[in-house]
């Protein structure tokens, strides 16, 4: 409807637009509401027509009373009959549908609806096509009319531009008619305004008539008239050379502006064919003549240039030769562009000018499109009979061909959006009506399919809910088992810690021997380490699950890492009465780049598991080289044991969090069930994957493949040096102090931790001064000297970070550079960077 309203000004007979708009409404009313809808829509249309006619609207009046009434009656009758037919068809369909006993539509209903659909489609597409075609013809006529107007305006503007150049030539002719012989300065003064006021005129020149016998005289006396180094020259093979003997010469004697045109002075216009032809025509006719497009002698320019000649006769001897010729250098490109702007040619119009009769290769004068396309397009337009896009333009005895039209090639429906809008709107309405009728035919089938689909969806939803519930129950059971297990794992060592601490206390009261106390304390330390291990596993898996696992990229010795793991795990292996062996491929490079801490953690975990499940057997660590290049090395680390093995149906579950192969209450081997999960996630972060093969009762083999960049021994040494020997001035100071006699300031707000740290440090021979918060520490440090400060981070009044910043701001350089060590349990990479940026030298955890 919006498209139809927009095209109202384009349709000369508004009744066509009225029909175009009202027909879809009538069809919709009849189809949607039957006979009642058809009557209501017809009543509204007739009422609108009467109101429009009373107001003097020319929809159905204006061509005579009788004709208007005949059109009105014919339209109303056609609409009414068509509407009643549609309404009757819909009522018939409704009646048949109602009489259908089994709920399925009969063949009559299908046939009627198909027939109705065809009629509506034909009417809709037919009316849309007619309206679109009529609008198209009106637009084409209007476009051709406007194109003709633009062409006439352009030709008038171009003729005016060229007329300005003619006026400049007449000024040169008048100058020599009045003064005869003048100097170069006089020529410049008189001609400058004519050049400056006309952008299309690049220069004005004067070429006198010179006969053979006068050649030497004019060359000798040229300097007296302000022209230096004058000599008559000709264009030979593209180069200016001294002209040969001729009967007559027309050399350029004066030129304005002289700057940039010095080369043309002395050039004989008769020495070049195209210039000679135009010059001879000017001498014969006495009118302005143009050359074909040519290249100037004085400069190469991208602008198309032509010369205009006007003969200056000798008024003292009209029977003799002329005095010479006035020459104008015309920038045709600029003149044509200016003419297009003055004529207000739209930007979407193509403008092409060509001198097709030119004997040179330069036939194209101007085009606002690509040159190759322009010449081809001009020839194509000339081949079309009675083509309104082409016109001839004559000036200066040159015939130019002008092609001017909108950018699209020719007139067609692709050029206009309005016909397409009308057709699309009408077709859309027709399609919507057809879709509506089809939907009536398919409603019953749709309902049946909908019921079946909903039934299947409910069944699927119920199955999905049951699966989700089962998974949730499994997860809940796994977490319940994990919590129960963790409760056991935490309670056991904590019970040991508390119990043996009580035993140690009781032994002191009874004066027990030292060995008994040492045994109790050893048990307490072991239980504490076990609790720390549990906490470490939980923190690792939490960090992995949160996506905060960050790998470092440092050079390290791969062989050394493996040897360290073996050395560390020898004692647990002996306790199991098992042997631990390491076999490293001699071809495997030692030095690579990666995260040695995480790699060592993975290997330690795998070896620890192997030892734990192997009693009186062998555990073998095999390191093999897979692929070695100049930049990287691929290797495989395998851990094989002769332990209890894993059942095949439990192999896939061992890498799941909170899961072990043995989930019975006995839990003979302990553990959190997180070790292999942590290993798998870390290896995956490094670009590999832990794999396993096992046979129950015979042992297991775990392995993973990694590819790491190679490094050198120097890189590893440099990395170890940076770690062991920081070059920071404060670190050097701390390193130089005597570790057996340090005077330390301990800042800790929690009394238990403060007393524990104080006792441990005093036991090593250090002198300890304590402070409960950062402010107290600053006050103490201001009045005493210390070797180092141990600073807790989280304290009341003033925290450790702000206290350290204030220490670094002391005026005393000795106190400002005192080593400060952070006391923290959080040693992530981000926090380590923050420690150093804040001013801490190191950390203790």
Taking 70 as the threshold, does the pLDDT of residue 810 lie above it? yes
- 655's tokens: 């890498």
pTM for the structure as a whole: 0.41
What's residue 221's pLDDT? 85
Point out the least confidently predicted range of 122-136, 449-463, 576-590. 122-136
User: Where are the alpha helices (H) located in 388-513, listed in sequence order?
Assistant: 418-509
Same domain, 737 and 710: no
- 708's tokens: 């790491």
d(CA 288, CA 310) in angstroms, rounded, equals 5
d(CA 486, CA 653) in angstroms, rounded, equals 19
What's residue 356's pLDDT? 81
The long-range contacts involving 793-802, CB below 8 angstroms and separated by at least 24 positions, are 793/822, 793/823, 793/824, 794/749, 795/747, 795/748, 795/749, 796/749, 797/773, 798/773, 798/774, 799/774, 800/747, 800/774, 801/838, 802/774
Same domain, 709 and 797: no
Same domain, 675 and 741: no
Asked, for residue 555, whether it belongs to a domain, the answer is yes
Asked, for residue 508, whether it belongs to a domain, the answer is no
Query: Contact, 636 vs 626, CB < 8 A?
Result: yes
User: Where are the alpha helices (H) located in 673-793, listed in sequence order?
Assistant: 675-686, 713-724, 729-736, 751-763, 774-783
Return all residues near 744 (Cβ < 8 A) that are at least 6 apart. 761, 766, 767, 768, 769, 786, 787, 788, 789, 790
What's residue 818's pLDDT? 93
Selected residue with higher pLDDT from 165 and 655? 165
Asked, for residue 708, whether it belongs to a domain, the answer is yes
What's residue 558's pLDDT? 92
Residue where one domain finishes, among candidates 698, 716, 734: 716
The strand order across the sheet containing 842-844 reads 767-771, 743-747, 788-792, 820-823, 842-844
- Rounded to 5 degrees, φ, ψ at 842 are -160, -175
Q: Which residues of 279-317 are buried (b: 16+ CB within 10 A; e: fewer)?
A: bebbbeeeebbbbbbbebbbeeeeebbbbbbbbbbbeee
Asked, for residue 748, whether it belongs to a domain, the answer is yes
Same domain, 324 and 396: yes
d(CA 417, CA 414) in angstroms, rounded, equals 7
The 10s digit of each residue's pLDDT in 159-191 is: 998 988 889 999 999 888 888 788 889 998 998
Point out the least confidently predicted range of 183-197, 267-281, 539-553. 539-553
Query: Contact, 802 vs 820, CB < 8 A?
Result: no
CB atoms within 10 A of CB 529: 11
- 280's tokens: 């001879």
Same domain, 678 and 640: yes
Residue where one domain finishes, among candidates 383, 415, 447: 415
Three-state secondary structure string covering 727-739: CCHHHHHHHHCCC
CB atoms within 10 A of CB 236: 13
What three-state secondary structure class fits 343?
Answer: coil
Same domain, 803 and 701: no
Q: Which residues of 135-153 are buried (b: 16+ CB within 10 A; e: fewer)?
A: bbebbbeeeeeebeebbeb
d(CA 357, CA 401) in angstroms, rounded, equals 10
d(CA 362, CA 306) in angstroms, rounded, equals 11
Q: Which domain holds residue 837?
A: 726-844
Query: Contact, 306 vs 293, CB < 8 A?
Result: yes
Give one DSSP letter per residue of 211-237, joined into a string.
EGGGHHHHHHHGGGGT--S---EEEET
CATH number (domain holding residue 704): 3.30.565.10
Point out the least confidently predicted range of 257-261, 283-287, 423-427. 423-427
Residue 483's pLDDT band, with cuts at 50, 70 and 90, is low
The 10s digit of each residue's pLDDT in 409-431 is: 444 445 567 777 777 877 787 78
- Rounded to 5 degrees, φ, ψ at 552 are -90, 160
The 10s digit of each residue's pLDDT in 73-90 is: 666 676 666 666 666 666
Asked, for residue 136, whether it belongs to a domain, the answer is no
For residues 543-566, give the mean pLDDT: 84
d(CA 221, CA 224) in angstroms, rounded, equals 5
Asked, for residue 404, whether it belongs to a domain, the answer is yes
Where does residue 103 fall: left (phi above 0), alpha (psi -120 to 50 degrees), or beta otherwise?
A: left
Give one DSSP letter per residue of 117-164, joined into a string.
HHHHHHHHHHHHHHHHHHHHHHHHHHHHHHHHHHHHHHHHHHHHHHHH
Closest CA to 522 of 544, 541, 503: 503
Asked, for residue 657, whether it belongs to a domain, the answer is yes
Return all residues near 176 (Cβ < 8 A) that are at least 6 apart. 182, 206, 312, 323, 324, 326
Selected residue with higher pLDDT from 54 and 611? 611
CATH number (domain holding residue 292): 3.30.450.350
Same domain, 199 and 347: yes
What's residue 743's pLDDT? 93
Give one DSSP letter per residue of 538-567, joined into a string.
HHHHHHHHTT------EEEEHHHHHHHHHH
What three-state secondary structure class fits 705?
Answer: strand
Same domain, 697 and 731: no
Return all residues near 330 (Cβ < 8 A) that are at least 6 apart. 162, 165, 200, 201, 202, 290, 305, 306, 307, 308
Same domain, 648 and 670: yes
- 635's tokens: 């290797």
For residues 309-332, give the mean pLDDT: 87
- Rounded to 5 degrees, φ, ψ at 620 are -115, 130
Point out the least confidently predicted range of 94-103, 140-149, 799-808. 94-103
Q: How many residues does the chain have?
A: 845
Q: Percentages helix, strand, coil for the chain, rounded to the nearest 5?
A: 55, 15, 25
What's residue 92's pLDDT? 62
For residues 741-751, give the mean pLDDT: 89
d(CA 426, CA 19) in angstroms, rounded, equals 12
Same domain, 282 and 320: yes
Residue 311's pLDDT band, with cuts at 50, 70 and 90, is very high
What's residue 737's pLDDT? 43
For residues 495-507, give the mean pLDDT: 65
Count of structural domains within the chain: 3
In the chain the first and final C-alpha atoms are separated, in Å, by 78
What's residue 59's pLDDT? 52
Query: Contact, 127 vs 23, CB < 8 A?
Result: yes
Residue where one domain finishes, among candidates 674, 694, 716: 716
Taking 60 as the threshold, does the pLDDT of residue 229 lie above it? yes
Report the chain's mean pLDDT, rounded to a whole number.
Answer: 78
Q: Is the dihedral of CA 468, 469, 470, 476 positive or negative?
A: positive
User: Where are the alpha helices (H) located in 358-410, listed in sequence order?
Assistant: 371-383
d(CA 800, CA 514) in angstroms, rounded, equals 40
The 10s digit of each residue's pLDDT in 434-446 is: 777 677 667 756 6
Same domain, 288 and 346: yes
For residues 301-325, give the mean pLDDT: 84
CB atoms within 10 A of CB 532: 11
Same domain, 711 and 749: no
d(CA 209, CA 341) in angstroms, rounded, equals 39
| Rg of the chain on CA atoms, in Å | 52
CATH number (domain holding residue 835): 3.40.50.2300
The percentage of the chain sitting over the pLDDT mark of 70, rounded to a whole number, equals: 70
Mutual angle of helices 418-509 and 14-54, in 10-degree steps: 100
Point out the least confidently predicted range of 54-58, 293-297, 328-332. 54-58
The 10s digit of each residue's pLDDT in 77-133 is: 766 666 666 666 666 666 655 554 444 445 565 666 677 677 777 777 777 777 777
Asked, for residue 502, whether it belongs to a domain, the answer is no
Selected residue with higher pLDDT from 234 and 730? 234
């Amino acid at each position: 409807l919006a498209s139809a309203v927009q095209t109202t000004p384009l349709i000369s007979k508004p009744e066509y637009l009225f029909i175009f708009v009202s027909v879809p409404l009538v069809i919709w009313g009849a189809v949607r509401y039957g006979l009642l809808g058809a009557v209501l829509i017809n009543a509204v249309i007739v009422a609108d027509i009467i109101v429009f006619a009373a107001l003097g609207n020319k929809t159905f009046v204006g061509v005579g009373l009788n004709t208007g009434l005949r059109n009105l009656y014919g339209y109303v009758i056609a609409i009414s009959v068509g509407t009643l037919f549609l309404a009757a068809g819909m009522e018939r369909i409704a009646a048949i549908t109602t009489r259908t006993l089994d709920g399925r539509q009969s063949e009559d209903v299908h046939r009627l609806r198909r027939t109705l659909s065809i009629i509506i489609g034909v009417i809709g597409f037919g009316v849309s096509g007619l309206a679109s075609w009529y609008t198209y013809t009106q637009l084409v006529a209007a476009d051709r009319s406007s194109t003709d107007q633009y062409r006439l305006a352009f030709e008038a503007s171009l003729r005016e531009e060229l007329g300005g150049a003619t006026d400049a030539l007449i000024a040169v002719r008048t100058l020599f008619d009045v003064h005869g012989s003048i100097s170069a300065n006089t020529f410049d003064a008189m001609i400058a305004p004519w050049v400056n006021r006309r952008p299309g005129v690049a220069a004005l020149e004067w070429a006198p008539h010179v006969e053979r016998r006068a050649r030497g005289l004019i060359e000798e006396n040229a300097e007296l008239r302000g022209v230096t180094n004058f000599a008559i020259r000709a264009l030979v093979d593209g180069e200016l050379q001294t002209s040969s003997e001729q009967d007559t010469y027309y050399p350029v004697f004066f030129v304005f502006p002289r700057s940039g045109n010095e080369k043309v002075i002395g050039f004989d216009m008769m020495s070049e064919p195209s210039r000679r032809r135009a010059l001879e025509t000017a001498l014969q006719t006495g009118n302005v003549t143009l050359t074909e497009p040519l290249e100037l002698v004085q400069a190469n320019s991208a602008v198309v240039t032509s010369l205009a000649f006007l003969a200056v006769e000798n008024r003292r001897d009209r029977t003799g030769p002329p005095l010479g010729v006035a020459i104008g250098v015309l920038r045709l490109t600029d003149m044509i562009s200016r003419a297009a702007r003055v004529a207000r040619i739209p930007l979407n119009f193509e403008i092409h000018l060509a001198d097709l009769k030119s004997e040179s290769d330069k036939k194209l004068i101007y085009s606002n499109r690509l040159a190759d396309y322009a010449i081809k397009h001009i020839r194509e337009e000339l081949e079309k009979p009675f083509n309104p896009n082409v016109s001839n333009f004559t000036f200066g005895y040159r015939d130019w061909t002008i092609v001017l039209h909108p950018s699209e090639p020719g007139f067609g429906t692709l050029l206009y959006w309005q016909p397409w809008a009308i057709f699309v709107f009408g077709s859309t309405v027709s399609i919507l009506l057809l879709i509506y009728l089809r939907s009536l035919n398919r409603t019953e089938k749709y309902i049946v399919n909908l019921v079946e689909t909903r039934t299947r969806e409910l069944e699927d939803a119920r199955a999905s809910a049951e699966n989700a519930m089962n998974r949730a129950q499994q997860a809940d059971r796994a977490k319940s088992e994990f919590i129960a297990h963790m409760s056991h794992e935490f309670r056991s060592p904590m019970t040991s810690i508390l119990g043996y601490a009580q035993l140690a206390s009781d032994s002191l009261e009874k004066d027990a021997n030292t060995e008994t106390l040492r045994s109790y304390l050893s048990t307490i330390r072991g239980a504490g380490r076990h609790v720390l291990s549990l906490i470490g596993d939980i923190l690792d898996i939490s960090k992995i699950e949160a996506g905060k696992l960050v790998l470092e990229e440092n050079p390290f010795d791969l062989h050394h890492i493996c040897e360290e793991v073996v050395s560390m795990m020898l004692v647990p292996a002996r306790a199991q009465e098992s042997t631990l062996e390491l076999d490293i491929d001699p071809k495997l490079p030692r030095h690579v780049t990666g995260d040695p801490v995480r790699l060592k953690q993975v290997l330690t975990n795998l070896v620890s598991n192997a030892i734990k499940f192997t009693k009186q057997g062998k555990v073998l660590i095999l390191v093999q080289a897979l692929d070695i290049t100049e930049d990287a090395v691929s290797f495989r680390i395998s851990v094989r044991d002769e332990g209890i093995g894993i059942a095949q149906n439990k192999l896939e579950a061992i890498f799941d969090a909170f899961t072990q192969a043995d989930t019975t209450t006995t839990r003979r081997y302990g553990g959190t069930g997180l070790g292999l999960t942590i290993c798998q996630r870390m290896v995956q972060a490094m670009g590999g994957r832990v794999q396993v093969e096992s046979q129950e009762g015979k042992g297991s083999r775990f392995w993973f493949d990694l590819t790491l960049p190679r490094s050198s021994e120097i890189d590893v040494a440099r990395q170890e040096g940076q770690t062991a020997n920081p070059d920071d001035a404060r670190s050097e100071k701390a390193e130089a102090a005597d570790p057996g006699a340090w005077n330390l300031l301990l800042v800790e707000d929690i009394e238990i931790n403060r007393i524990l740290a104080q006792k441990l440090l005093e036991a090593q021979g250090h002198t300890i001064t304590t402070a409960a918060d950062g402010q107290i520490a600053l006050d103490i440090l201001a009045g005493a000297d210390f070797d180092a400060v141990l600073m807790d981070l989280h304290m009341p009044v003033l925290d450790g970070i702000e206290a350290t910043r204030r220490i670094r701001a002391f005026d005393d350089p000795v106190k400002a550079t005192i080593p400060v060590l952070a006391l923290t349990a959080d040693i992530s990479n981000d926090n380590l960077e923050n420690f150093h940026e804040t001013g801490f030298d190191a950390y203790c955890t």
